[in-house]
Amino acid sequence: MSTVAASIPQARDAAPERRLYRVLHAACGEFATRHPQPGWRGLLLTGSLARGESRWQRAGDRWLLAGDADLITVVASRNAARRYVSGLHEHLAAALEEAGMHADLSLGLMDPSALRRLPASIFTLELITCGRILWGEPEVLRLAPRCTPAEIPREDAWRLLNNRIVECLAAVVEPNPAERLNHALDKLHAAIADSWLLFTGRYALGACQRLRRMESALAAGNGGLPWTHTPSLLASLRRAAARGPLPTEPRPTEATLRRLAAQTEAAWTWELHQLGAERLSDAARRKEAGGGSLAWLAAAHAASNHQTRLRCLSRAMRPNAPSPRYCVYAAAAACWFSYPRLTDDARRAAARMPCPPPIGAGWKAVAAAIASNYRHWIEHTSR
């Protein structure tokens, strides 16, 4: 197979990125030699690392990546390759650790037909525009269809905002260093801006473009911004555009988190109304949201215990049932918007998830349950 090495983006501090690209390229080649897999087409990189916008922390002689390294393995047959994926994941992670680096690896699996069928979305646009081939056939990225920002459904941008809300909840309740929590808050600020830009026809990839378009809209006196606290949002966008090592900042105060929760609620509600829905339950019944009953049947099939399986099957029998994704979104929104207390609405929403929290659980326990449901049922699925 003719393979290519990773190309290196010109970032202000690209040293950890260059090292990561070299290590992953070499490690993937080693693994392919030891475990030959017919039809293995390549290993792709997408996300902030591919855009050259990753944020790193220095810890002694080690580099720590804030956020995930988003990887996609392209193989001729998904079924034949599934048993290799966990081994590849372990091999890549071990190679990074040996090189003095740590990164949470998100490793997806696609076959060529899945790449060709990718719908117009933020993910697809990012992959075809910024995606990098760390190892494999030089032409593998050409399999993905072309798309433009104008073709991306607004539903996709609203889902991005919901996903970032869940990630923010997880960062608040987990014992992360202040830098990791601040990074999650910056990603939520970016999602607020990105989703608004897409809804208003101004979307463009990249932190610098995002910042310029937000500043341009504000300079023009645009009255369509649905949120307040714009200075905090712009400060967050400027940090992302600056790149380089993750700055050392104190853990955000409770007042800061409450302001961001209110800002998120204003953006979330405005976008929901733009989708033609007054409530989340209305949005969940739109055809763009997917079939709720089928999604609950898939969740029942994937359930690991009898009680969860029965709960999912009972939801599948209800007409117009919101999907597991929208149940998790509803719980996350209600929990985040009411931070740091837990409202009755948030409790009821959390009880509708595939694996609800214990009765009487507090805010942190409910937030942790939401994050767990998201990881298990939503993160790597379309349901």
Cα gap 180→103, rounded to integer Å: 13
pLDDT at 289: 59
DSSP state of 288: G
Angle between helices 324-337 and 344-351 (to 10 degrees): 160
Do residue 202 and residue 339 come from a single domain? Answer: yes
Is 329 found in the same domain as 220? yes
Residues 302 and 165 in one domain: yes
Residues 158 and 117 in one domain: no
Q: What is the dihedral of CA 358, 361, 364, 366, to 10 degrees?
A: 50
Residue 261 inside a domain? The answer is: yes
**Which pLDDT value is given to residue 291?**
65
Tell me, yes or no, whether 159 and 147 share the same domain.
Answer: no
Considering 151, 178, 209, which residue would you say is the last residue of a domain?
A: 151
Cα distance between residue 234 and residue 39, in whole Å: 46
Per-residue DSSP letter, 205: S
**Which residues are within 8 A (CB) of 3 and not within 5 positions of it... i.e. 6 or more apart?**
29, 42, 135, 136, 137, 138
Please check whether residue 59 is in contact with residue 169, taking contact to mean a CB–CB distance below 8 angstroms: no
Q: How many C-alpha atoms does 368 have within 13 Å on its Cβ side?
A: 10
Give the C-alpha separation, 200 to 185, whole Å: 23
Q: Is residue 10 part of a domain?
A: no
Mean pLDDT over residues 140-145, rounded?
A: 93
Residue with tokens 């609800």: 356
Residues 272 and 220 in one domain: yes
Task: Check residues 272 and 225 and name the one with the higher pLDDT.
Answer: 272
- For residue 383, being part of any structural domain is answered with no
Would residue 1 count as lying in a domain?
no
In the chain, how many domains are there?
2
**Residue 88 structural domain:** 15-151
- The helix/strand/coil state of 121 is coil
Q: Strands (DSSP E) along 9-157, which ranges?
A: 40-46, 55-59, 62-75, 101-110, 132-136
The CATH number of whichever domain residue 122 belongs to comes to 3.30.460.10
Count Cβ atoms within 10 A of the Cβ of residue 252 and give its class: 0-12 exposed, 13-18 middle, 19 or more buried.
Answer: middle
Closest alpha carbon to 76 in 109, 39, 115: 39
**Last-in-domain residue among 121, 151, 181:** 151
**Parallel, antiparallel or unpaired: strands 62-75 and 40-46:** antiparallel
Both 189 and 265 in a single domain?
yes
- Could you read off the pLDDT of 331-366 as tens digits, one per residue? 999 999 999 999 999 999 999 999 999 999 999 999
Q: Are residues 267 and 334 in the same domain?
A: yes
Average pLDDT over every residue of 27-36? 88
Cα 282 to Cα 269: distance, rounded to the nearest angstrom: 12
Contacts of 68 (CB under 8 A, 6+ apart): 47, 103, 104, 105, 106
256 has a pLDDT exceeding 50: yes
Quick one: pLDDT at residue 32? 87
Q: Residue 3 domain-assigned? A: no
Nearest to 225 by CA among 159, 206, 188, 234: 234
Could you please report the per-residue DSSP string of 323-374?
PHHHHHHHHHHHHHHTTTS--HHHHHHHHTSSSPPPTT--HHHHHHHHHHHI
Any domain includes 9: no
Whether the CB-CB separation of 242 and 207 falls below 8 Å is answered with: no
Q: What confidence score (pLDDT) does residue 2 get?
A: 44
Instruction: Identify the pLDDT of residue 218.
Output: 83
Q: Does 340 fall in a domain?
A: yes
Alpha helices in 59-108 (DSSP H): 78-98
Which H or E run includes 248? none
Are residues 39 and 108 part of one domain? Answer: yes
With a threshold of 0.85, does the pTM exceed it?
Answer: yes
Residue with tokens 């979104």: 329
* 74: helix, strand or coil: strand
Q: Are residues 215 and 263 in the same domain?
A: yes
Residues 126 and 220 in one domain: no
Give the pLDDT band (50/70/90) at residue 9: very low
242 and 269 Cβ atoms separated by less than 8 Å: no
From 117, 151, 185, give the residue that closes a domain. 151
Type of residue found at 367: A
94 vs 182, residue with greater confidence: 94
Average per-residue pLDDT for the chain = 86
